[in-house]
Amino acid sequence: MERSKRPGLVTFAAIMMFTLGGLSIVWAIEEFSNAAWLNNANLGLFSKTLFYWAISDLVIAAVAILAGLDVWRGGKVGRWIGIIISALSAIKAFFYIPWAPVAALLIVAMDILIIYGLSTSDEWFEW
């Protein structure tokens, strides 16, 4: 059985997952370097070293890139992992709103677009 052409929303979601992975790597580098704009954020979930937040960002980046590759080729597992990792990334970005509101809201918007693209293209993933 020959598959049809990949839908545009699936291609968009895969590219956005690659972008999410890249942005998470940038956030991790900032957190590993103890950036001055986050170093004073000692309230609640943040600590002075930000080490654990950087590790979580690297995990999100790796999983998002691998899920994006799987979605690109049409894998069902990548679709579900992409939806889950995008939801977790959006929840994590809400914690950054007091310190970096524009960046955090852009990441939340990107995560919502990824979830929308993956959840509305059922026909591509069922074969």
pLDDT, tens digit, 9 for 90 and up, residues 86-108:
999 999 889 888 878 998 999 99
Q: How far apart are CA 127 and CA 123, in angstroms?
A: 8
Q: Which of 35, 17, 33, 3 is nearest to 114 (CA)?
A: 17
By CB neighbour count within 10 A (0-12 exposed, 13-18 middle, 19+ buried), where does 13 fall?
Answer: buried
Per-residue pLDDT of 76-88, as tens digits, reads: 898 999 999 999 9
